[in-house]
């Protein structure tokens, strides 16, 4: 089953490169083009020079962009801006943060290592979201140019009796750095070199599956790249990818709804067609807190959304998924209560909105803050918004076990892991 091994990572020499505060960043797919430009200008050693962020809207990265990132990777190692661990290690990755809804303090713990790549059909690593060809090709092209992984993927696993994390906590990890991100989350990374603790952790993990939380495009890209290089199934560096694993029962695990914002519609479509399959009720004001409460308090068997237009908020409740009829052809009955699948496959087509097509074309933006989403529609920045809830951990497990996938960006796991905490050389050199 899951095989997370210690590895000889490359890490920043902060004495040469600058402080972690000046160099690290969230995953590429949450960094817009303008923010990426600002990061690149802030330091010649900022991790954005490797991960690239998102291209300018309506464009794609070129082969020259990928070659430049690969050349930077080589240069930083030659100049000893990056140094390599003398022996294989794991990393303990703690994040202290405030819950985005309750404001309560929380801490999430994870272990960074090199996870053996397994085809999805093997049932060891399980996806829960769809991927798109564009981002997938982008990440494969970057791997092909650099032969390296620059950001950890985020995965979940069962840890009965807390044996896996217990093995690590008893090993006195060596602190490496602490940094506060733009959201105020405090990230702490420590080195785990104790071979006995590592062996005990790997033994506890060996019987478990991994559910991909964040990084579906990056894992799929790593899988395809390893296959193309003839490395898949081996045990070298190129047969693995860098992953941070957290126990599914970790008290700091948080996932929020990823709200949808639509542009390019011309104007918000009429919601009248939805009344044939759902109960549609106006809400009293542009109040994001009310919208969130409505979707979060809804029973699991009553998929519920709040549609946002400049005319106001309307709650939409599907009381009988079977009423969607032929629109759910090909959808497993296991997914009949999965709200985002019903939204994408059932409701949006009734409004002549092709969410997946718009997503690929840049017409859908994903937002974790309901207040920002409501305000963006109210002020005319977007034509329509949809406030949704996040699936719980048990729902994710059921979806994965059924061999199903949810739409792209179904969950927003928070906080995001930082790119630049470690780098994984796939070349084996």
The total number of residues shown for the chain amounts to 429
Do 143 and 273 lie in a common domain? no
Whether 327 is covered by a domain: the verdict is yes
pLDDT score recorded for residue 172: 87
Top-confidence residue, 284 or 423: 423
Tally of domains in the chain: 2
Q: Assess if residue 408 is contained within a domain.
A: no
In a 3-state reduction of DSSP, which class is residue 274? helix
Q: Is residue 82 a part of any domain in this protein? A: yes
Residue 166 has pLDDT above 70, yes or no: yes
**214-239: per-residue pLDDT in tens?**
999 999 999 999 999 999 999 899 99
What domain range is 113 assigned to?
A: 4-254+415-425
137 and 274 inside one domain:
no
Q: Does residue 380 share a domain with residue 321?
A: yes
* Mean pLDDT calculated for residue range 414-419: 96
Residue 107 lies in a domain: yes
Do residues 34 and 134 share a domain? yes
pLDDT at 387 over 90: yes
Asked whether residue 295 falls in the same domain as residue 240, the answer is: no
Q: What is the pLDDT of residues 113-131, one digit of tens each?
A: 999 999 999 999 999 888 8
Same domain, 57 and 148: yes
353 in the same domain as 247: no
Find all residues with CB under 8 Å of 42, minimum gap 6, and list them. Answer: 22
259: phi then psi, degrees, rounded to nearest 5? -75, 150
- β-pairing, 153-157 vs 254-257, is unpaired
Same domain assignment for residues 103 and 190: yes
User: Do 227 and 264 have their domain in common?
Assistant: no
From CA 34, how far away is CA 55, in angstroms rounded?
Answer: 9
User: 335-354 pLDDT, tens per residue?
Assistant: 667 788 888 888 988 888 87
Give the model confidence (pLDDT) of 290-340 as tens digits.
Answer: 898 898 888 888 889 999 998 899 999 998 888 887 777 777 776 667 788
- At residue 188, what are phi and psi to the nearest 5 degrees? -125, 130
In a domain, 45, yes or no: yes
- Give the chain's mean pLDDT: 90
Report the largest interatomic distance among the alpha carbons of the chain, rounded to a whole angstrom: 65
- In Å, what is the CA distance from 376 to each residue of 252, 259, 384? 30, 12, 9
| pLDDT for residue 359 | 57
- pLDDT at res. 358: 56
Alpha-carbon distance of 25 to 324, in angstroms, equals 42
Does residue 198 sit in the same domain as residue 92? yes
Question: Is the confidence at residue 357, as pLDDT, over 60?
Answer: no
């Amino acid at each position: 089953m899951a095989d997370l091994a210690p590895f000889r990572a490359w890490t920043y020499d902060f004495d040469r490169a600058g402080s972690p505060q000046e160099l690290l960043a969230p995953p590429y797919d949450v960094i817009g083009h303008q923010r990426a430009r600002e990061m690149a200008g802030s330091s010649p050693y900022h991790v954005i020079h490797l991960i690239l962020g998102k291209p300018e809207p309506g464009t794609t990265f070129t082969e020259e962009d990928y070659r430049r990132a690969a050349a930077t990777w080589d240069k930083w190692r030659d100049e000893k801006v990056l140094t390599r661990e003398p022996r294989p290690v794991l990393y303990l990755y703690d994040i202290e943060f405030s819950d985005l809804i309750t404001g309560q303090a929380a801490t999430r713990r994870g272990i960074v290592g090199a996870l053996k790549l397994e085809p999805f059909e093997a049932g060891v690593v399980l996806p829960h979201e769809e991927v798109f060809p564009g981002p997938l090709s982008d990440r494969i092209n970057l791997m092909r140019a650099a032969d390296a992984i620059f950001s950890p993927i985020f995965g979940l696993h069962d840890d009965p009796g807390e044996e896996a994390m217990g093995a690590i906590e008893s090993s006195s990890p060596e602190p490496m750095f602490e940094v506060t991100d733009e959201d105020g989350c405090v990230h702490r990374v420590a080195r785990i070199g104790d071979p006995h603790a590592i062996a005990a952790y790997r033994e506890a993990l060996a019987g478990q599956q991994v559910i991909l939380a964040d990084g579906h495009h990056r894992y799929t890209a790593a899988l395809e790249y390893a296959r193309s290089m003839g490395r898949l199934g081996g045990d070298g560096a190129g047969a693995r990818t860098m992953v941070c694993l957290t126990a599914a029962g970790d008290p700091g695990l948080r996932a929020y709804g990823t709200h949808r914002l639509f542009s390019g519609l011309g104007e918000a479509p009429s919601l009248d067609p939805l009344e044939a399959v759902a109960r549609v009720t106006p809400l009293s004001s542009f109040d994001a807190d009310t919208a969130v409460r409505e979707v979060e308090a809804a029973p699991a068997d009553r998929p519920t959304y709040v549609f946002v237009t400049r005319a106001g908020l309307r709650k939409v409740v599907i009381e009988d998924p079977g009423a969607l009829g032929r629109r759910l052809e090909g959808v497993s009955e296991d997914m009949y209560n999965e709200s985002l699948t019903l939204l994408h496959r059932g409701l949006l087509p009734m409004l002549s909105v092709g969410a997946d097509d718009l997503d690929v074309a840049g017409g859908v933006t994903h937002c974790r803050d309901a207040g920002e989403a409501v305000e963006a529609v109210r002020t005319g920045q977007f034509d329509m918004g949809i406030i949704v809830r996040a699936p719980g951990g048990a729902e994710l497990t059921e979806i994965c076990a059924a061999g199903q996938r949810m739409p792209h960006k179904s969950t927003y796991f928070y906080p995001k892991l930082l790119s630049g905490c470690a780098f994984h050389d796939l070349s084996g050199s």
